[in-house]
A and B are shown apart, each in its own frame.
Chain A
Amino acid sequence: MMRIFWTIVGKELLSFLRSWGLLIVVLYSFTVDVYIAGEGMQIKPRNVGVGYIDNTGGGISQKIISHLHPPEFLPPKRFLSQKELSEAIFNKKILVGIIFDSDFEKAYRKGEKTELNVLLDATAASQSFTTLGYLQNIVLEFSKVDFPVELKSHKLFNQNADNHTFMALSELLSVITMLSILLPAMVFVKEKEEGTWDIMLLMPVDARITILAKSFSQVLIVVAGTMMTVGFVLFGAFDIPMNGSFWAFFLLTFLYSFTSAGLGLFVAAVSKNILQVAQLSMIIMMPMIFLSGAWTPIYAMHPAFQALSMISPLRYYIEGCESIFFRGTDFFDLWHYFAGVLVLGSFLYWYGFRKIGKLF
C-alpha cells in the first residue's frame, strides 16, 4: 500500500522536474516575484511632491515650508502663479499645492483667524489624506498652541509600520494559493486529457490512494517552495520577524496546501481540458485572494462578501499566518484557523473522491 503511494509520488515529482518550463515558473514565483512585491512598495506617504505659491514675501510662510522635509516630502517647489501650480497638479507632478495669500502674514501677525489654502490631488485619496494630517500637525506645532493632551501611540509587533514584510508575506500567500490549486488540477487533467486516467482507475489500486498520492506530490513541491521563500526571501532579504512558532506555520502551510490541492481536485473533476482548468481556477482564485482579508479586513467588507469568505480556506490561512508571524499568537489560540482549513479540506476531498475517483 505505502509502496504504491510513494511510487506515484516519486513519479509525479520526476515528471515535474522534467518539465523545465513549469519548474522555472514555479521557482520564479517563489523567489523573484515575492521579492519584487516586498521591495516595490511603501504605501506610507514618502517623497510627496509639494508645490507652493508665496505672495507674502517670506517670513512665516518659509518657516512652514521648511517643516516639509524628507523622507516624507520632496523639497517643495516654488511656483509663480496659481495657474502654473494647478497645471503641475493636473499633470501629476506634485500631489499637494499650498497657497500663501498676500494677507496671510498680516492676518497672522494681527492675531486674526488665518487661513491657509491647500490643494490636494484627491485621486490618490489615502496619500493626500495622510499628507493633510501631517500639514495639520506642522501648523499646530507652529502655532505654538500648548496642547493639553498628548497621544502616545505604539504600533505593536511592527513599530515602524514597515510595509516590506507585510507585502512580501501577502504575495507569498497568494503564490502558495495559486500554485497549490493549479499544479494538482493540472496533474489530474493532463491524465484525463490523455485518457490515462481511466486506465489508472481500472488498475487494482484504490483510487483514493492514487488521488492522495498525486496531490501529496504537488503539496510537497509547494511546501518546499514555501520553505525556500521563507528562508531566502523573508528571513534573508526582508528580516521578517517570527514572533510565533515556526512549526505552527509549517503545519498550517502543509494543511492549507492540502486543502487548496482539494480545490484543485475539484477544478480537475469538473473540467475536461487544461484550458478549462486555467479558466476555472482563475475564477476561483481571484475572489479567494481578494476577499481573503489580505487587502481589506473581512469585517470591513460588504456583508455578502463576509459570508462568502467563510468558505475560503485562504481566509483562515492568511489570518493565521499574520498571527504567527507578527502577533506571536499562542499555538492554542490558533485552533480555529487549523479547524477551518481542515473542515474545508475534508469536504473537498470527499467530493473529489466521489467525482473523479470512480469510472462509472
Chain B
Amino acid sequence: MKWRVIKAYIVKELTELIRTRLIVMVYLMPSMILLLFGYGIRMEVTHARTIILDYDQSHFSHMLTEKFEHSKYFDAQIGLMSEAQALHQIKKAKADMILIIPASFQKRLLHGQKSEIGLFIDGAFPTRATTMESYVQGVVLQASQEAENIALKKGMIVINNRNLFNQAMRDENAMVPGLIGLVLLVAPAILAALLIVKEKEKGTIFNFYASPVGKGEFLIAKLAPAFLLHSLNIFILFLWATYLFEVPFRGSFWLYWLSSELYIFISLGIGMLISVVTRSQIAAVVMTVIVTLLPGFLYSGIILPISAMDKASYIEAHFFPIMYYNHILYDTFLISQGIASEKIVLYLGVLFLYAVILLGLGTLFLKKELR
C-alpha cells in the first residue's frame, strides 16, 4: 500500500465527483427519497370519498349518516342518485365506496329485527379497501352503541389497548426510520457502481490496468470517497427524520451511527459486485435500482413486519441485509433496547459479516486485466 498513491487517487476522484456534478446527486437523492416517501405515502386512509344512499330518511339513518359527515376519515356525499349512477362514479374513479341504508331501516330496528346496511367498496386497491371496510365497521359499531347504550349491558368485555412505541399511531413514526434503511441501501450502491463502471465504459480503466497501482489501492481510492460522502448522509437523514417528521429518537445515537456506517459498507459491496458484472453506466444504474430498491422496500418492514410474512417471504427476508439493519434502526428510534438486547448484538454481527463477505467477493472478482 502506497498511501501517497491512494491519496492522489482519492483527490482525483473527489475532483471528478465535483466536476461532473455527481456530488449533487449524492446529497439530493437520499433526502429526496425520504421526503417523497415520507410525505407521499400514507397507510392510513383519510377523506375516503363515500356516497351514502339513504333510502330511509329517518331519525336513526340520519344519526348514522351524521357520523360519516363529521369524520375526517370520510368525505361523505349524501347521494341523490340511483345505484347505477353511484356505481358509475366508482368506475370513473370518482368515488371509493357506496353505503346503502335500506328503506325499512328504522322500522326494523324499532321492532328489534336485524337490519342490514350495504357497503360496496372499490377493491382495485385491496389494502385500502380492507382499511376502509374496518373504518366503516367502527363507525357503525359506535353509532349503534350510542343508539342503544349496549356498552352497559351485562358481560360486555372492553378492550383496553396500549400502543407501544408509537402511542399516537403516527404514520411517520412507523415509516420514516424504515425509509432511512432503504435510502442508505440504494444510494451508496449506485455511487460505488458508477465510479467503477464509468472508467470501464470510457476505457480509462486501462490506465489502472497498465499502471503499477495495486488492486487494493484502487478499491480504497474508489470506495473511500463514496463512503465518506455518504457518512454525512447518515446525519442529514437523521435530522430530517427527527426535526421535519418529528420522529422521536429514544435510543443510543452511537448505535445508530455505528450500524449505519457498517450498513454503508454493505451497500458499497453490492455496488462493487454490480460493477463487476456490468459494463455500461446505464445498465449499472438500472441493475442497482432493481436489486436494491424493490427487495429493500418489500423486506424493510415498512409495509409488512417480518414476523407477519408467510413462510417463503420470511426466509427470503433473512437473505437481505436491510432486515437486520432496520431492526436496529427501529430500535434506536422508537424502542431503545440498545445493545442490552441479544438480538441487536447478533444482528450487528450479521451486518458485519455481510460487509466483510460482500467487500471480499467484490475484491476477488475485480480483475486487474483485460477480459
Q: Which of B92, B159, B289 contacts A329 (CB 8 A)?
A: B92
- Known contacts A45-B308, A133-B134, A133-B137; decide if A152 and B159 are in contact (CB<8 Å): no
B244 beta carbon closer than 8 Å to chain A: no
Residues of A within 8 A of B107 (CB): none
Asked if A18 is at the interface (CB within 8 A of a chain B CB), the reply is no
Q: Which B residues contact A (CB, under 8 angstroms)?
A: 20-22, 24-25, 28-29, 32-33, 36-37, 39-47, 49, 87-88, 90-93, 109, 112, 114-131, 133-134, 136-138, 140-141, 144, 148, 150, 153-167, 169-171, 173-174, 194, 198, 201, 278-283, 285-287, 289-290, 294-295, 298, 301, 303-310, 313, 316, 327, 330, 334-335, 337, 341, 343
Contact B173 A123, beta carbon cutoff 8 Å: yes
Contact A297 B109, beta carbon cutoff 8 Å:
no
- Cβ of A49 within 8 Å of any chain B Cβ, yes or no, is yes
Complex interface: chain B residues within 8 A of A322 (CB): 93, 124-125
Task: Say how far B30's CB is from chain A's closest CB, in angstroms.
Answer: 11
A151 to B137, CA, bound (A): 7
Point out the residues of chain B lying under 8 angstroms from A156, CB to CB: 87, 90, 120-123
**Are B33 and A36 within 8 A (Cβ)?**
no
Give B134's nearest chain A residue, CB to CB. Answer: A133
Q: Total A-B residue pairs with C-beta atoms closer than 8 Å? A: 332
User: What are the 9 closest A-B residue pairs judged by CB atoms, nearest first?
Assistant: A158-B123, A122-B166, A155-B123, A122-B163, A326-B124, A161-B126, A153-B119, A111-B154, A125-B174
The answer on a CB contact under 8 Å between A161 and B123 is yes
Could you name 7 residue pairs across A and B whose Cβ atoms are closer than 8 Å? A47-B307, A119-B162, A123-B165, A130-B130, A136-B159, A278-B194, A295-B41
**Given the complex of chains A and B, what is the CA–CA distance between A120 and B162 in angstroms?**
6
User: At the interface with chain B, which of A138-146, A206-214, A251-259, A352-360?
Assistant: A138-146
B191 to chain A, nearest CB (A): 11
Q: How far is the CA of A128 from the CA of B279 in the complex (A)?
A: 46
Q: Are A91 and B134 in contact (CB under 8 A)?
A: no
Quote the shortest CB–CB distance from A211 to chain B (angstroms): 19
For B310, give the chain A residue with the smallest CB separation. A47
Establish whether residues B158 and A133, one from each chain, have CB atoms under 8 Å apart when the complex forms: no
CA distance A121 to B155 in the complex (A): 28
Considering the chains assembled together, what is the distance between the CA atoms of A297 and B49 in angstroms? 11
Chain B nearest CB: distance from A322 CB in Å?
A: 5
A113 with B91: in contact, given A162-B126, A286-B36 (CB under 8 Å)?
A: no
B148: min CB distance to chain A, Å: 7
Please count how many residues in chain A sit with their CB below 8 Å of the partner chain's CB atoms: 111
Return A353 CB to nearest CB of chain B, in Å: 24
Name the distance in Å between A10's Cβ and chain B's nearest Cβ.
22
Chain B residue at smallest Cβ distance from A135: B159
Using CB atoms, name the residue of chain B closest to A328: B91
* A118 CB within 8 Å of chain B: yes
Instruction: Give the distance to chain B from A160, nearest Cβ to Cβ, in Å.
Output: 8
CA distance A148 to B82 in the complex (A): 26
Check A46 for interface membership: any CB of B closer than 8 A.
Answer: yes
Q: In the bound complex, what is the Cα–Cα distance between A186 and B285 (angstroms)?
A: 12
Are A118 and B160 CB-contacts (below 8 A) given A21-B280, A145-B150?
A: yes
Chain A residues whose CB sits within 8 angstroms of the CB of B298 once the complex forms: 36-37, 40-41
Binary per-residue interface labels of chain A (1-21) against chain B in the complex, 1 for a CB within 8 Å, 0 otherwise: 000000000000000000101
User: Which residues of chain A have C-beta atoms less than 8 A from B171's C-beta?
Assistant: 125
Given contacts A123-B173, A157-B123, A295-B41, contact A178 B286 (CB under 8 A): yes
CB neighbours (8 Å) of A247 from chain B are none
Structural contact, B174 and A22, CB atoms closer than 8 A: no
Asked if A68 CB lies within 8 Å of chain B CBs, one says: no
Q: Which of A22, A140, A297 contacts B125 (CB 8 A)?
A: A297
The A145-202 residues at the B interface (CB cut-off 8 A) are 145, 147-159, 161-163, 166, 171, 178-179, 182, 186
A78 CB within 8 Å of chain B: no
Q: Is the CB of A116 within 8 A of B160?
A: yes
Give chain A residues whose Cβ lies under 8 Å from the Cβ of B166: 122-123, 125
